[in-house]
Amino acid sequence: MNASTGKVNLLGLTQPQMESFFEQIGEKRFRAGQVMKWIHHFGIDDFDAMSNIGKALREKLKANAEVRGPEVVSEDISADGTRKWVVRVASGSCVETVYIPQAGRGTLCVSSQAGCALDCSFCSTGKQGFNSNLTAAEVIGQVWIANRSFGTVPAKIDRAITNVVMMGMGEPLLNFDNVVSAMHIMMDDLGYGISKRKVTLSTSGVVPMIEELGKVIDVSLALSLHAPNDALRNELVPINRKYPLAMLLEACQRYISGLGEKRVLTIEYTLLKGVNDQPEHAEQMIELLAKIPCKINLIPFNPFPHSGYERPSNNAIRRFQDMLHKAGHNVTVRTTRGDDIDAACGQLVGQVADRTRRSERYIAVRQLPADGAPAASQS
């Protein structure tokens, strides 16, 4: 609920939540489907434009509810067709959303937090620290904004957005409830109708919440690995000190095996010159992933000011890829997209008022209680 207006923001409600809302205002549950279609299929935020709803109900909705997405601060389009939206959320911070067009598909990279507490050393978002969790409306609102921008409607055969990846700013599993609600809306036929195989959550390794994720949803899972041993990963991805590789990979395997289909784990690995791109690192990675069904995305580092890291040479990238491929792994090298508008992987920065830079402080707040249930999300 919006504290300033006292109204419920319908944009972030799942189908069951929407049905409950209509019951609470004395209306039939089927109204939920009608309104969800107007909001998500047609991008409508004006109740008076919902033509199959009677005037009395429209007036009741105006008194009790609103449809309000994040404020669009700017939209930039790269020379390669990549788009980036900067949107302002309720905390006052700005986050970024990126759309990447490819042959036969369009992928939207969605943010889950303003900033990030995990402070991975090669990520520009982490250098800003953490400000706030996004509400479910602010997470799904990024899809809603992009969809409206493209004018996508159900009757249109070629939908602009075919895939969504929770790989933008923030660690999605540290905003668990709001992210899960938003992903349910992404996959709901009354929402965006995106296949569960084409909605991907990327995590740096919050092990307890990987376990919880498998209980409530079956989206694809990506692991931001970035190092093949604990000593190096402790430096690059500090959360590894709390949840080391053996524990992390076991949790990922359990999640994937629980899906009951031929699904594999996606491994994201940012290549840093002279840091994690050497033949010995490839050999360690082959051994680490030997028994894990996975596909590997190698991401050449995208520079940003004062990072202290460099992009490896093309020869070093090919050598690393070839070693993994010869060991039987499915390996791709991610093409850098949108770097002319600072939309490439690892470059998202938004505009964040830093509340904490220490991952331990934030993670301690987000720990599972004794009964094993997820703690309440901030919103």
96 catalytically annotated: yes
Helices (H), the chain: 15-24, 31-36, 55-64, 136-150, 176-187, 207-216, 230-236, 245-257, 279-288, 314-326, 359-365
Are the C-beta atoms of 264 and 293 separated by less than 8 Å? yes
Considering 19, 27, 94, 96, which one is annotated as catalytic?
Answer: 96
DSSP letter string, 5-65: T--EEGGG--HHHHHHHHHHTT--TTHHHHHHIIIIIT----GGG-TTS-HHHHHHHHHHE
Looking up tokens 């990506």 gives: 222
What is d(CA 90, CA 174) in angstroms, rounded to the nearest whole number? 18
Residue 234: other Cβ atoms inside 10 A: 16
* H or E segment and range at residue 314: helix 314-326
Residue 102: other Cβ atoms inside 10 A: 12
- Tally DSSP H helices, then E strands, for the chain: 11, 14
Looking up tokens 């996508």 gives: 152
Are the C-beta atoms of 123 and 346 separated by less than 8 Å? yes
The HSE-up count of residue 252 (CA atoms within 13 Å, CB side) is 29
345 catalytically annotated: yes
Considering 116, 123, 294, 345, which one is annotated as catalytic?
Answer: 345
Question: Catalytic site residues?
Answer: 96, 345
